Amino acid sequence: MSFPIAERPEVCSGRKPNSFPGLRSALAALSLPTVPMLLTLALAHTGAYAQTYLDTALAGETYRIQGEYSGTVGTKPYGAQVIAWGNGKFEATMLPGGLPGAGWGSAPTNFKVVTGSTSGSNTVFTTTGWSMVIKAGGAAIEGTGPDGALKMSKVYRESPSLNWAGPADAVKLFDGTQAAFNANWTSGSIVQGKYLSEGSECNKAFADHTLHLEFRAPFEPLEDGQGRGNSGVYVQGRYEVQVLDSFGWMKGQTEHGGAEGWAGGIYDTRPADFNMAMPPLRWETYDIWLVHPKFNGNTKTTNGRITVWFNGVKVQDNVELPGTTPGNFEGESAAGGKLALQDHGGPMWYRNIWAVPGKFVPIPISTRIITDRRAGPTVRTASPSWSGTGVPYMNVLGARRIAAPHGPYLMLYLGEKKAAEDIRK
């Protein structure tokens, strides 16, 4: 069976920690041209074959159908997150009010999952009260829903802190260069000539600190739960903020494993307030403020606390950390700890990693919106002054300023965009 793999040779078979570490390390060390390629391997995975895409150009029509859509059902605003499950199978998570962080609330039952499949050039979704179709290319959804005619357009969102260089006093842990890797990391590797691999451990210790990093999950449509693009950000090497392709999953669903194990969750401890995951093969951000636990000698007197912004939206708010999370790299102590990026057997790329010791750094508030790239030059709207409650953001439907209680909103890409642009250089 052919495994479409581009830009980095990679094998994903099973989802046990450090699956095939020797083979994966050897492949990562090869100096190969950074052009699309096919690596043909056959590896058994619970009776089937694993399939991992690292390049949108090779992911095909299935990937183009998957993604976020925004529009209306009748006169009511709606968002849709369409998830690909491989072999022409899909689910559309329908969200009254809009997309997560853009109008949809966090009520566990306030969504509807509609199943669909591809037949010919159309992907059709049907269930009681819903009938929808996505035509080839995945530019829009049309049909009917319980509130009337349904019309939605594909949207592309990005975190306001994507590519954020941080303040002048930030400690640059990885900027894409070999020099930064050699100076700050004791394991892992550089992939694609500029990204940091999973399985990387930092040599710098921090107590209280702000941490910024960006990650990109692979597209693994045949996987589910913890098998779908799994890694983890171990803050101080002690507390794991889960990294996973959990795009489109909603709290209240049980078929994908516990929500505390989804992206944005404190692993095995607490799920994210919102699932702010973007589709796989898109660059995403974590901005984290960690308050180090207090000690009297070797005795802990006060637990640590953590706040996490996932793609610009606060999903963990000053959460108490009673102890280390499973798989920790080091135990709690009065001393600071070192960042570690978990290797859970699958490819995960990281970039733009920096920390500011001893102080909280607010993430930038952005209300920029980028119009359809085919319509002319990119349009950017600077953050406006705001006197209302909450934080201003742009509504995808009307580009109007409204209060956003959960944090600064995401930059929005409206309309079509070339697949190659999904891998932002």
Q: What is the mean pLDDT of residues 24-49?
A: 33
Lowest-pLDDT range, 9-13, 21-25, 122-126? 9-13
pLDDT of residue 228: 85
pLDDT above 90 as % of the chain: 57
171-357 to CATH, choices 1.10.1200.10, 3.40.50.880, 2.60.40.1930, 2.60.120.560: 2.60.120.560
* Strand (E) or helix (H) holding 318: strand 313-321
Give residue 16's pLDDT band: very low, low, confident or very high (50, 70, 90): very low
User: Which residue has better confidence, 157 or 174?
Assistant: 174
Q: In this model, does residue 338 exceed pLDDT 60?
A: yes
Owner of token pair 């891998």: 423
Give residue 365's pLDDT band: very low, low, confident or very high (50, 70, 90): low
pLDDT of residue 35: 30
Query: Which of the 8 DSSP states describes residue 219?
Result: B
Output phi, psi for 182, to 5 deg: -65, -35
Give residue 50's pLDDT band: very low, low, confident or very high (50, 70, 90): low
By C-alpha distance, which of 137, 143, 129 is closest to 72? 143
C-alpha Rg value of the chain to the nearest Å: 21
Give residue 137's pLDDT band: very low, low, confident or very high (50, 70, 90): confident
Q: What is the mean pLDDT of residues 317-346?
A: 94
**Average per-residue pLDDT in the chain?**
77
**Domain edges within the chain:** 171-357
Q: What is the mean pLDDT of residues 401-413?
A: 36
* Strand (E) or helix (H) holding 65: helix 56-65
Q: Strands 67-73 and 148-158: what pairing?
A: antiparallel
* Strand (E) or helix (H) holding 300: strand 299-302
User: Which residue has better confidence, 142 or 373?
Assistant: 142
Strand partners, 91: 83, 115
Q: In this model, does residue 281 exceed pLDDT 70?
A: yes
Q: In this model, does residue 333 exceed pLDDT 80?
A: yes
By C-alpha distance, which of 28, 24, 25, 17 is closest to 343? 17
Residues 407 and 285: beta-carbon distance below 8 Å: no
> 93-131: per-residue pLDDT in tens?
999 999 988 888 766 678 899 999 999 999 999 999 999
Tokens of 172: 């640059």
Q: From CA 56, how far away is CA 45, in angstroms rounded? A: 23
Q: In this model, does residue 403 exceed pLDDT 50?
A: no
Q: From CA 189, how far away is CA 182, in angstroms rounded? A: 10
